[in-house]
Every structure is written in structure tokens, then in C-alpha cells.
């Protein structure tokens, strides 16, 4: 189907009624073995769900977060971690959705959004690096205050067991993520069309994968310095992991985001920039995900080979290579298992999702 770039509205109308197939993303890591923390259910029932109830006042949002089973994702990343560290990471991963959704929904505008973002960045930095200033949260309503205060116990645990340099690396990743987050459709304001480069530049940091990677030292009980994460191979491992996860998220959340009227998604961006059909854009996205899965393995092999005679560095590399694989493959498993985007019964025997586009907000 030809796409007229001069009339984006006609593109969305043309999608009405189309049948779409989402590929089996599990094939991206065919040799990955699923492992889940043995105390996952205890952590979910006794720790994570009560924590969500304490910090999320809106009943509907609270139930949605509890049903999303974000603790399962953490249980995969923390399969061999202590119970306490696993619980902290489960809260951390859930916190992303609490704070990020404030911006995604577009409720914050203009200078108020800028001020709250800055206060958020200062608050998170203070929890990891207490020598920095803690902002005054009093000007903000209860919901916005609690969205930050929920992270206090997370930051406190990380700060108490990790070195200052490890906390500094995590703080840097968190601040870059928070700076990038904004209204989900901001790049499309006033009918503008972002280039692929503009989309990638924002999505790479706004997806929040780098803070997740920077949490790996906490999970595995290793401390790092800035030089440990600055080599070209380590940077490739981080970038390929980030790209893979947010590409997978864009593919797997396509139906939900189209229905929500949220078009900051790789597939519409490819359609509009390249003149592709939705089918071809999905395939191009899958190919990009596959390239980044290969990139993760290549970077891991290069890191291990280049540091073969450095046992302390090998320990750090083992943590990051396994951690990045578990983040990427674990996110895919969680996406298929959580019910956030579709039910397992909707998949065919080859784990392919078929659906018809029937509503575009």
C-alpha cells in the first residue's frame, strides 16, 4: 500500500481494518535459558504488591501495576541474587512505570513539567549521592511527591551496599533517562514528523534501559569504576541491549499504542519516513532487533577475549554479559507472560500474534 507522506491522517485511516502479524520475538535468543528467582511469589505477594499499594493512590493504576507482574522481570534478572536485592530491583523496575506514566499521559505541561523533572532528577541523585542537594517537593501534589518518595528505599539500599563510583554510574544513567522522558507524542507535535535519527536519539535514553543495565553491579555484588564501562566493547554491549529492548517493546506494544493514539513507536516512524507498509515496517523492526541480538553476543565475546588475563575485570564482564542477556531476553519473556499487551491464548502455535486494527484514537 503506497503511503502519502503529505497526509499522515490518511495513513492512520488506511490502517483501519488491516490484519497484522507480530513475529515470534522469542527466537531472538534461541539458546537463552529461563531462570526465575525461587522466592518470586513470596516477594510479589508479601513485598512488591503491598509496596505498590502504599505508593500508588489511584486504585485502577495500582491494580494495573500489580497485574503487570513486573516482579517477574526482576525475578529473571535477579535469579541468583539475594532475596533483599531481588525485592529492591522489583521495586525499582516497577517505579519506572509509576514515574514514567506521569509524563507519558501528557498531564504535565510547559515549565511545570520542566520544574518537576528537575526536582525528580535532584531527588534521585540525592538518594544515590547524598552529598548532593535534596529538592523541596512541597510545591507538588501528593501523587507527584509519592512517585519520587517511592524510590527512596531503593536508592538507600543501593547506596548502602555499592561503592560511590558504582552509584555515580547509576546516577548518571538515571539522570540521562529522566532528562529524555516526556510526553509520549512530543516528537509529533504540530504535525511534525521526526526523522529516524531524531526518534532513535530520544528513544535510546527515554526507554530507561541504561539505568537497568547500570543496576547490574548491584544485582551481582560487584563494584565498578567509570573506566570499567567506557571501553568500546562495553559501550556496544550497553547500546545493543538498549536498542534491542526498546525495539522489542515497540513491536510488542504496537496494538496497545495504536489504540491509545500513541504514535511514538518505531513502526509508524518507519512507515512515515520510509514509505513502508505496516507489514514491511514490522519486518524491518524485527530485522533491527535481530541485528542487535547478534551485537550483544559479539560484544560479550570481544569483552571476554580481550580481558582473558584479568580476573577482576572478568568478574565484572561476566556480570554485565549475563545481566544484559537476561535484561533483553527476560523482557521478551515478561512481555509474553504478563498479559500487559496480549493474552497467551491470542498467540498461534508458532507464538505469532495476529490482530486486526479496529480502533485508532
The answer to whether the Cα torsion of 301, 307, 310, 316 is positive or negative is negative
Query: Which runs of E-coded beta strand occur in the chain?
Result: 19-22, 353-356
| pLDDT the model gives residue 96 | 94
pLDDT tens digit sequence for 163-179: 999 999 999 999 999 99
Measure the CA–CA gap between 200 and 164, rounded to whole angstroms. 31
Instruction: Using 70 as the pLDDT threshold, list the residues of the chain that sit under it.
Output: 1-12, 14, 105-106, 183-191, 261, 359-361
Cell of 107: 498531564
How much is the mean pLDDT over the chain? 90
pLDDT tens digit sequence for 56-67: 999 999 999 999
| pLDDT the model gives residue 183 | 59
What's the gap between Cα 201 and its chain centre? 15
CA 309 to each of CA 225, 235, 318: distance values in angstroms, whole numbers, following the listed order:
19, 21, 14
Radius of gyration of the chain measured on its C-alpha atoms = 20
Quick one: DSSP state of residue 110? Answer: H
| pLDDT the model gives residue 224 | 97
pTM for the whole structure: 0.92
- Entry field: residues in the chain: 361
| pLDDT the model gives residue 2 | 38
- Domains, the chain, in order of start with CATH, read 8-356 (1.10.600.10)
Measure the CA–CA gap between 357 and 20, rounded to whole angstroms. 7
In the three-class reduction of DSSP (H, G, I as helix; E, B as strand; rest coil), residue 347 is classed as strand
Q: Is the separation of the CB atoms in 332 and 32 below 8 Å? A: no
Amino acid at each position: 500500500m503506497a503511503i502519502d507522506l503529505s497526509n499522515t491522517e490518511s495513513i492512520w485511516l488506511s490502517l483501519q481494518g488491516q490484519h497484522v502479524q507480530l513475529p515470534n520475538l522469542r527466537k531472538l535468543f534461541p539458546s537463552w535459558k529461563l531462570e526465575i528467582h525461587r522466592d518470586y511469589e513470596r516477594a510479589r505477594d508479601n513485598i512488591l504488591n503491598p509496596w505498590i499499594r502504599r505508593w500508588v493512590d489511584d486504585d485502577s493504576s495500582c491494580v494495573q501495576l500489580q497485574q503487570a507482574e513486573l516482579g517477574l522481570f526482576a525475578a529473571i534478572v535477579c535469579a541468583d541474587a539475594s532475596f533483599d536485592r531481588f525485592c529492591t530491583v522489583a521495586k525499582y523496575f516497577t517505579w519506572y512505570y509509576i514515574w514514567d506514566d506521569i509524563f507519558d499521559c501528557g498531564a504535565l505541561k510547559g515549565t511545570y513539567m520542566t520544574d518537576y523533572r528537575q526536582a525528580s532528577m535532584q531527588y534521585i541523585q540525592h538518594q544515590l549521592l547524598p552529598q548532593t542537594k535534596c529538592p523541596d517537593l512541597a510545591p507538588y501534589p501528593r501523587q507527584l511527591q509519592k512517585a519520587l518518595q517511592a524510590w527512596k528505599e531503593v536508592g538507600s539500599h543501593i547506596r548502602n551496599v555499592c561503592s560511590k563510583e558504582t552509584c555515580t554510574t547509576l546516577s548518571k544513567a538515571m539522570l540521562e533517562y529522566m532528562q529524555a522522558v516526556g510526553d509520549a507524542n512530543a516528537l509529533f507535535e504540530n504535525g511534525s514528523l521526526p526523522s529516524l535519527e531524531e526518534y532513535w536519539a530520544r528513544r535510546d535514553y527515554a526507554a530507561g534501559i541504561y539505568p537497568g543495565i547500570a543496576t547490574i553491579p548491584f544485582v551481582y555484588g560487584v563494584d565498578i569504576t567509570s573506566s570499567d564501562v567506557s571501553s568500546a566493547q562495553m559501550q556496544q554491549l550497553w547500546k545493543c541491549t538498549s536498542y534491542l529492548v526498546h525495539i522489542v517493546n515497540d513491536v510488542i506494544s504496537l496494538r496497545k499504542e495504536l489504540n491509545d493514539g500513541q504514535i511514538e513507536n518505531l513502526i509508524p516512524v518507519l512507515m512515515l519516513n520510509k514509505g513502508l507498509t505496516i507489514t514491511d515496517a514490522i519486518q524491518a523492526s524485527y530485522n533491527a532487533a535481530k541485528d542487535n541480538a547478534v551485537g550483544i553476543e559479539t560484544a560479550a565475546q570481544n569483552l571476554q577475549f580481550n580481558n582473558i588475563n584479568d580476573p577482576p575485570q572478568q568478574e565484572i564482564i561476566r556480570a554485565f554479559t549475563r545481566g544484559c542477556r537476561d535484561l533483553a531476553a527476560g523482557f521478551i519473556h515478561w512481555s509474553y507472560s504478563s498479559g500487559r499487551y496480549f493474552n497467551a491464548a491470542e498467540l498461534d502455535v508458532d507464538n505469532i500474534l495476529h490482530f486486526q486494527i479496529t480502533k485508532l484514537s
